Chain A
Amino acid sequence: MRLIRRNWLGGAAGWLWLLIVMIPLYWIVVSSFKDQAGFFIQNPFALPADPTFENYKLVIESDFPRYFMNSVIVTAGTILPAVAIAFMAAYAIVRGAGSRFLAGVNGLFLMGLAIPLQATIIPVYLLIIKMHLYDSLLAIILPSIAFSIPLSVLVLTNFIRDVPKELFESMRVDGATEWGMLRTLALPLTRPALVTVSIYNGLAVWNGFLLPLILTQSPEKRTLPLALWTFQGQYSVNVPAVLASVVLTTLPIVILYALGRRQLLSGLTAGFSR
């Protein structure tokens, strides 16, 4: 393995990038523990002279748990159905190769990749009003499912194609139905891809801003990114409190990332490089 060679340029870029990433992150965390006076007077990179949890207390007392729950409901409510139906569609597209209908369906999903779906937000808004779903969490969930389908189907078809045809043939000889093969053969073999797609879509929905902004209205329906934005408007003078809210909204994802990092990174690399 002579792949491991000196790569000065890559190395320099690597360390430079580390600085570019870590400086703002360090600054957010350090500043969120300072009181206002300390934030304005101290060197921005110095550790807080008098560390305080007041900022965090303020954020948590301002309905943070409710926004957190809304984000959890919207994210789970999107990825579970989205991944399930995208998996079924990907299975059909691979197993039904040759069917003109399925080729057309696949083409439609691929086209979805090239279209900025946010551009359809005005008719989606109209549709949600007509369905009497405006200002509900379901109003965010339904379009989120639809928007996550194109990429999920692409990644999942790539994985299901790798399942050897002979396995399907021998199961068919044993009298298995397509539904049975989907459950007992394709599902376990594509589990890594399913996890990848769930994480990828989950991140997009958790961090989504446009759909909650347009499709909901009342404060009780806010998700975290939107709450962050309104909070920033209310506390524009209290920068440490705003930064504490940034930390709090990001922390759950960072913890999940720390746990599932290997899966996320290897899945994404494999999913996109084909």
Chain B
Amino acid sequence: MTAAAPTVAKVAGRTTSRAGRSGSVAWMALPALAIFLVFGIVPLVGVLLLSFTQWDGLGAIHPAGISNWRSVLSDPGLPHALFVTFEIMILSWAVQTPMSLLLGVFLAGRQRYRAFLAVLYFVPLLLSSAAIAITYKALLDPNFGLGAGLHLDFLAQDWLGKTNLAIGVVIFVVSWQFIPFHSLIYQGGVRQIPTTMYEAASIDGAGRVRQFFSITLPQLKYTIITSSTLMVVGSLTFFDLIFVLTAGGPGDATRVLALDMYKRGFQANLMGPASVIAVLLVLIGLALALILRRLGGSTTASQQEGA
């Protein structure tokens, strides 16, 4: 494959029949490209432009220079929203990764009962964030929820009314929702590890724990990076869950960036400042994806190492 690639490129460069052929497939990419440009890339540029304007969401749009940026960047709410966003991102990563890894390894075994458990494991994946948030709100209600019903004082707290507890609840519920998905990714990763490696290790007398740390974990390096990238970039988009569960409260305790954007834009009708927040979200997402990819080394190196 590596040998063929330069040849194709060279021939294509000479615009011979080969190039004409790749030109004749290119049109098939156009419909997807068109709609992605209109609703993905153009808005990406648009949000940057809008961040320099004043717009209430209904009336005319007026240029506003850098005033939005100045006001948002000097707003003490911003460092707080950034802090909460990263706090939830990092803590939910730290909860989800070990659990997904363990479950993924567990599910990669092929016993019948594991297949049965897998049926039940993935149900949270099917529920909408709105449904999950509504359920947990009712479940954790201090007066009618689980704690009150079971007469357990430690459960009957005002979970969503206290700052630290509310963040803990968000992290728990996020993990409840997404661990199934990530354990699935890990399950796939584990199944691709050649069994001969484990056989060789057993012959050398390596125990289960040793094998996990010397074979499973290093072999899953790129799976860990894929899963972490999805978790981390995905956590920037936690909107519906937090919106329905806490609406950013108590106070501003769970007001993450995505929610901050919505509240400024669609509740306070300040689309300019909201666009500033959106631009920050895009920049943070790209930066995190690049950092994670750097951690994993380049993709070609990964494939060679994996082979």
Contact = CB atoms under 8 A, between A and B. Distances in A.
Partners in one complex: yes
Given A89-B29, A97-B8, A119-B285, A209 B22 contact: no
A108 interface: yes
With a 10 A CB-CB cut-off, give which of A121, A228, A254 has the most chain B CB atoms.
A121
Contact of A123 (B21, B43, B106, B131): B43
Given A13-B106, A21-B124, A118-B258, A146 B240 contact: no
A105 B223 CA distance: 25
Nearest to B9: A98
Given A14-B117, A178-B28, A265 B138 contact: no
A122 B278 contact: yes
Interface string A142-176: 11011101100100000000000000000000000
Interface string A94-129: 011111111001001101111111111111111100
Nearest to B290: A114
Interface in A28-62: 28, 31, 39-40, 42-45
B91 interface: no
Contact of A44 (B150, B279, B282, B290): B150
Contacts of A145: 35, 39
B79 interface: no
Given A2-B199, A20-B176, A99-B23, A44 B149 contact: yes
B126 A254 contact: yes
Contacts of A143: 39
Interface in A73-106: 85-86, 88-89, 91-93, 95-102, 105
A28 B135 contact: yes
B206 interface: no
Nearest to B278: A119
Contacts of A123: 42-44, 46-47, 50, 275
B191 A269 contact: yes
With a 10 A CB-CB cut-off, give which of A3, A42, A111 has the most chain B CB atoms.
A3
Interface string B172-195: 000010011100110111011001
Contacts of A111: 286
Contacts of B237: 116-118
B32 A178 contact: no
A146 B35 contact: yes
A99 B126 contact: no
Contacts, number: 317
B90 to A, nearest CB: 17
With a 10 A CB-CB cut-off, give which of B138, B139, B243, B282 has the most chain A CB atoms.
B138
B146 interface: yes
A7 interface: yes
Interface string B115-140: 00111111111111111001110110
A214 B266 CA distance: 8
B201 to A, nearest CB: 11
Given A120-B44, A123-B47, A268 B261 contact: no
Contacts of B266: 214
Contacts of B135: 24, 28, 243, 246
Contact of B44 (A91, A115, A153, A178): A115
Contacts of A224: 128
B170 interface: no
A7 B208 CA distance: 8
Contacts of B72: none
B217 interface: no
A121 B265 CA distance: 10
B184 A265 contact: yes
A147 B234 CA distance: 13
25 contacts: A10-B109, A13-B103, A20-B176, A21-B180, A24-B176, A44-B145, A89-B28, A93-B29, A97-B5, A101-B26, A112-B40, A115-B285, A116-B237, A119-B278, A119-B281, A123-B50, A178-B28, A179-B28, A207-B128, A228-B128, A242-B138, A243-B135, A243-B138, A246-B134, A249-B131
Interface of B: 5, 8-9, 11-12, 18-19, 21-29, 31-33, 35-36, 38-44, 46-47, 50, 57, 99, 102-103, 105-111, 114, 117-131, 134-136, 138-139, 141, 144-146, 149-150, 176, 179-181, 184-185, 187-189, 191-192, 195, 198-199, 202, 208, 223, 226, 229, 233-234, 236-237, 239-240, 243-244, 258, 261, 265-266, 271, 274-275, 278-279, 281-282, 285-286, 288-290
3 tightest A-B CB contacts, nearest first:
A123-B46, A10-B106, A273-B188
Given A10-B105, A89-B32, 10 more contacts: A13-B103, A43-B149, A98-B22, A116-B281, A118-B237, A119-B282, A122-B271, A208-B128, A250-B128, A269-B185
